[in-house]
């Protein structure tokens, strides 16, 4: 059942991404409305998929590569929708739906077997640590999407050559606010997720929570990037281009951490 739901939601995401892209070129409001509906439907199906998977596996489905990436895609979709609730960012749907689609594609290529959890993983801290971290990453992903949009738009404004993106992207101020909102939600969540991971590691490794493995180091570096950005924004009013660049670079670090986590085998010890 969860397999079928995954396939269906994947197709729905594909449709949403295509319709959003059509809208990006044509700028017809009706097209966007259709895209929104399809995207919401896709996200709902995906939610069902995760619930069914939870029931089938008997534990929170964030343990295999397939599950983790799928959960990541789901979080981005939900974050995007939650932001739409509050305020509109013109045309961000196109970018988000494409990222979500790509993640779903990667996820569908990974093995979908439901693996039994090794005994040391059976802690209530696993779902807490993993889900909080992934949701944090989703907000940071949105910040990075906003950052890329900002850099594209800023380039057009600075060079005074108004091409394809100028009329299609929102104002710099909107994008900068998006960046700030996403990071001010994503960063505390990320901190919380890391703290949960720290406690959990302490449980597993018997009082020695700190290990010099690439995943932990990389996560630490990522955290420092965002901490630095937050600090500079609040004290010196760093914003705009610089903030956008750091957001994009820091998100690359997030992806690298993610890759270390997955390549190390999600379930092979913290």
Partner 1 sequence: MGHDSIVLLGVNHKKTPLEIREKLALTGGYEEPLKRLQELEGLKEYYLLSTCNRVEVLFVCHDPEQMRREVLDLLFAGKVSREEVAGCIYVYENEEAVRHLFMVSSSLDSMIVGESQILGQLKEAFRHAAEQKTAGMVLNKLLHKSFSVAKRVRTETQIGANAVSISYAAVELGRKIFGDLRGKRVMLVGAGEMAELAAEHLVSQGIQEVVVANRTLERAMKLAARFQGRAVGLDEVVEQLLDVDILISSTGAEGLVLFKKDIAPLMPRRRNRPLFFIDIAVPRDLDPEINTLENVYLYDIDDLNNVVEMNREQRDKEAIKARRIVEEETLKFQRWLNGMEVTPTIVDLRAIAESICQAELAKTLPRLNGISAKERKCIERMASSIVGKMLHHPMQYLKADHGCVGQSERIVQVRTLFQLNEHCGHGEQADD
231 binds partner 1 (CB under 8 A): no
Q: Closest CB to partner 1 among 172 and 262?
A: 172
Contact 107, 70 (CB under 8 A): yes
CA atoms in the 13 A half-sphere facing the CB of 68: 24
Q: Report 166-205 residues binding partner 1 (CB under 8 A).
A: 166, 170-174, 177
Q: Does 241 bind partner 1 (CB under 8 A)?
A: yes
Residue 151, interface with partner 1 (CB under 8 A)?
no
Span near partner 1 by CB under 8 A; candidates 69-77, 108-116, 152-160, 254-262: 152-160
Site for partner 1 in 52-81 (CB under 8 A): none
Question: What is the spatial distance between Cα 236 and Cα 88, in angstroms, rounded to a whole number?
Answer: 27
240 binds partner 1 (CB under 8 A): yes
The residue within the footprint of partner 1, chosen from 28, 211, 231, 242 (CB under 8 A), is 242
Residues whose CB is less than 8 angstroms from the CB of residue 48 and which lie 6 or more positions away in sequence, other chains included: 5, 9
d(CA 43, CA 257): 25
> For the purposes of burial, counting CB atoms within 10 Å of the CB of 108, is it exposed (0-12), middle (13-18) or buried (19 or more)?
middle
92 binds partner 1 per the rule CB under 8 A:
no
Closest by alpha carbon to 250, among 214, 225, 215? 225
Does 84 help bind partner 1 (rule: CB under 8 A)? Answer: no
Query: How many residues sit close enough to partner 1 to count as binding (CB under 8 A)?
Result: 19
Q: Contact residues for partner 1 (CB under 8 A)?
A: 153, 157-158, 160, 162, 166, 170-174, 177, 236-242
């Amino acid at each position: 059942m969860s397999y079928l739901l995954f396939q269906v939601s994947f197709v729905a995401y594909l449709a949403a991404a295509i319709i959003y892209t059509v809208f990006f070129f044509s700028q017809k409001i009706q097209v966007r409305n259709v895209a929104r509906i399809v995207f919401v439907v896709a996200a709902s199906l995906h939610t069902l998929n995760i619930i069914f998977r939870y029931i089938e596996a008997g534990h929170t489905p964030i343990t295999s590569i397939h599950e983790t990436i799928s959960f990541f895609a789901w979080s981005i979709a939900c974050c995007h929708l939650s932001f739409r609730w509050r305020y509109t960012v013109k045309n961000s749907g196109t970018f988000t739906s494409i990222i979500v689609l790509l993640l779903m594609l990667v996820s569908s290529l990974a093995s979908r077997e439901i693996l039994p959890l090794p005994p040391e993983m059976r802690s209530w801290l696993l779902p807490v640590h993993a889900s909080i971290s992934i949701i944090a990453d989703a907000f940071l992903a949105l910040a990075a999407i906003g950052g890329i949009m900002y850099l594209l738009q800023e380039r057009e404004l600075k060079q005074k050559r108004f091409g394809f993106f100028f009329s299609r992207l929102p104002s710099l101020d909107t994008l900068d606010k998006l960046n700030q909102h996403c990071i001010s939600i994503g960063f505390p969540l990320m901190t919380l997720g890391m703290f949960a991971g720290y406690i959990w590691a302490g449980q597993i490794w018997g009082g020695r929570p700190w290990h010099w493995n690439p995943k932990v180091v990389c996560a630490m570096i990522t955290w420092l990037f965002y901490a630095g950005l937050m600090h500079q924004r609040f004290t010196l009013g760093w914003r705009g281009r610089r903030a956008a660049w750091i957001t994009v670079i820091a998100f690359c670090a997030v992806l690298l951490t993610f890759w270390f986590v997955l390549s190390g085998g999600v379930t092979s010890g913290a």
